[in-house]
Structure 1
Amino acid sequence: MSALSYWQTVQATSTAIADTQSEVIRQAAQAIAGSIERGGVLHVFGSGHSHMIAEDVFYRAGGLACVDAMLEFPLMELNVGRSTEMERLHGYAEVLVSGYRLEAGEVAVVVSNSGINAVPIEVAQACKRKGLTVVAIVSKRHSESVSSRHRDGLKLADVADLVIDNCGVPGDAALATAGASPVRFGPTSTLTGILIMQMIVAEVVSLLDSLGAKPPMFQSANGPGAEGNADLMRAYQSRVRYFPKA
């Protein structure tokens, strides 16, 4: 049964992440927690389907209020076809980051399954020039199996301070049909990218709590405690794009 096979594959990949990436996830969380304790925010960027990893930790119940999701319509799959071309465009990242307030000492997580296209690489470079710590989430196996599209031959893993492997297979599709001409299916990078980001957030919350700092967490708008969300939005609205006026 393909549905069960996919579940088993995702489970095995998630276990591999826990077994092999926990230390670097902890290191990323330590940098983020330190930044938040000093008043900083966490920036998260991804293009194509990777934008969903940024969106998942942005403005949600049980999530940090100090997340700046760097969501750009031309790079989302809402812009079908052109988004693939846009993420390969050299120079676009400089325009993109100019719309965000990036402060030295903060952390930017850049997500790219392949880690070979110009925009995520140059977003990482721009963040490093501004003094941010850059954490990359990539598929190491995929990235190592393909050539860079960056004009200097760089890959995202070459630029980042910390690299977290989503443990995915080259091409992302983890399953294949039987027969002489198999069709590959079952991508895992979105699920594992979201898992990694939520593992990071969980560790950040635990670290802040251990330091005696109250983590700035949103509560569900449909449950008790939601009245505090407006205060958090006011506290971060000068730093986080797309927040409505509170």
Structure 2
Amino acid sequence: MHDVSTPDDPGRRYLACVVDLVQEVLDTQWDVITEAARVVAAAMGGRREIHAFGSGHSHMLAEELYYRAGGLADVRPILFEGLMLHANASLSTRLERLPGLAREILDAHGVATGDVLFVFSNSGRNQVTTELAAEAGVRGLTVIAVTSVTHSQATTPRGGGRRLLELADIVIDNRGALGDAAVEVPGFARRVAPTSTAVGAAIVNAVVAQSVGFAVAAGIEPRVYASSNVDTGDAINDAILGRS
């Protein structure tokens, strides 16, 4: 016997929720997405670098911007392994709350005045995220945050400082709920299925697309990767990377 799918299935409700949130982003966040895209286009035109950072699951959005078919070649993600989940998930949670780590990460990575930094954090409350954003601002970078305003405003920042949304130059709200998980399942006590990654990926790719549009309109030739899995892809990417 086959299961009968219904409109109230949790999986269907999750997909509908993501669709609704992306529409909310379009309806409410377009002005700040456009502002972010102008900053990124200016960075491309000025040969500045675009950095991207997130801890825990948010690091996936930093990788979403990096070495991607149809993505910008001028992106340098800040990928500190201790803050990712594959080695030790509980350690990554402890490290993202560690004061002083952000400055060391930024020193090791290397940034310059005029660069752009994307910071991804659904809660925007942990020290490594807030300290990184603050330090980047001191060093002359434009900081673009992708965060949940609802979640962030419902919690207190750790370490007694400020939230990411209070530190960034540009704040894009992913419109997510407190706790990120979005779907209620009858008979189960907690909501399931987070939205921040799916909606965050849509946001960053909207910024990429719009920034390329702005760059082309300004006579700037964007450096954009092709898929390595089309016949011409390797040659295009080798030329971008100076390997041809």
**Normalising TM by the smaller chain, what interval?**
over 0.9
Contact 1:219–1:229 at 8 Å: present in 2 too? yes
State the number of aligned residues. 234
Question: How far does residue 195 in structure 1 lie from its aligned partner after superposition?
Answer: 0.8
Q: Secondary structure at the match of 1:98?
A: helix
User: Corresponding residue for 2:203?
Assistant: 196
User: Corresponding residue for 1:178?
Assistant: 186
User: Corresponding residue for 2:17?
Assistant: 9
Higher mean alpha-carbon deviation, 183-192 vs 217-226, is at 217-226
Structure 1: how far apart are the matches of 2:129 and 2:91?
16
Structure 2: how far apart are the matches of 1:225 and 1:113?
34
Same amino acid, percent of matched pairs = 38
Which ranges in structure 2 are unaligned for 5 or more consecutive residues?
A: 1-8
User: Corresponding residue for 1:238?
Assistant: none
Structure 1: how far apart are the matches of 2:64 and 2:79?
11
Question: How far does residue 117 in structure 1 lie from its aligned partner after superposition?
Answer: 0.3
Q: Secondary structure at the match of 1:168?
A: coil
Q: Does 1:28 align with 2:36?
A: yes
Letter in 2 for 1:204: S
Letter in 2 for 1:230: D
Q: Does 1:218 align with 2:225?
A: yes
User: Corresponding residue for 1:229?
Assistant: 237
Q: Secondary structure at the match of 2:204?
A: helix
Provide TM-score, normalisation by structure 2. 0.93
Question: How far does residue 2 in structure 1 lie from its aligned partner after superposition?
Answer: 1.3
Question: How far does residue 225 in structure 1 lie from its aligned partner after superposition?
Answer: 4.1
Q: Does 1:67 align with 2:75?
A: yes
Superposition RMSD in Å: 1.3
Contact 2:10–2:185 at 8 Å: present in 1 too? no
Contact 1:46–1:111 at 8 Å: present in 2 too? yes
Deviations 1:21-67 (A, max 9, x none): 01001001101111110111111100000000010110111111000
Deviations 1:182-224 (A, max 9, x none): 2210100011111111011001111111111111011111211
Q: Given the alignment, which residue of 13, 18, 26 partners 1:18?
A: 26
Q: Secondary structure at the match of 2:108?
A: coil
Structure 1: how far apart are the matches of 2:111 and 2:238?
23
User: Corresponding residue for 1:128?
Assistant: 137
Structure 2: how far apart are the matches of 1:106 and 1:177?
44
User: Corresponding residue for 1:50?
Assistant: 58
User: Corresponding residue for 1:237?
Assistant: none
Question: Which segments of structure 1 move beyond 3 Å, counting only runs of 4 or more?
Answer: none
Contact 2:10–2:184 at 8 Å: present in 1 too? no
Q: Secondary structure at the match of 2:159?
A: coil
Contact 1:218–1:226 at 8 Å: present in 2 too? no
User: Corresponding residue for 1:38?
Assistant: 46
Letter in 2 for 1:96: I
Deviations 1:60-91 (A, max 9, x none): 11111000111111001112110000000000
Letter in 2 for 1:190: T
Letter in 2 for 1:166: N
Q: Does 1:116 align with 2:139?
A: no
User: Corresponding residue for 1:84?
Assistant: 93
Contact 1:137–1:193 at 8 Å: present in 2 too? yes
Which ranges in structure 1 are unaligned for 5 or more consecutive residues?
A: 235-244
Question: How far does residue 150 in structure 1 lie from its aligned partner after superposition?
Answer: 2.6
Structure 2: how far apart are the matches of 1:130 and 1:148?
22
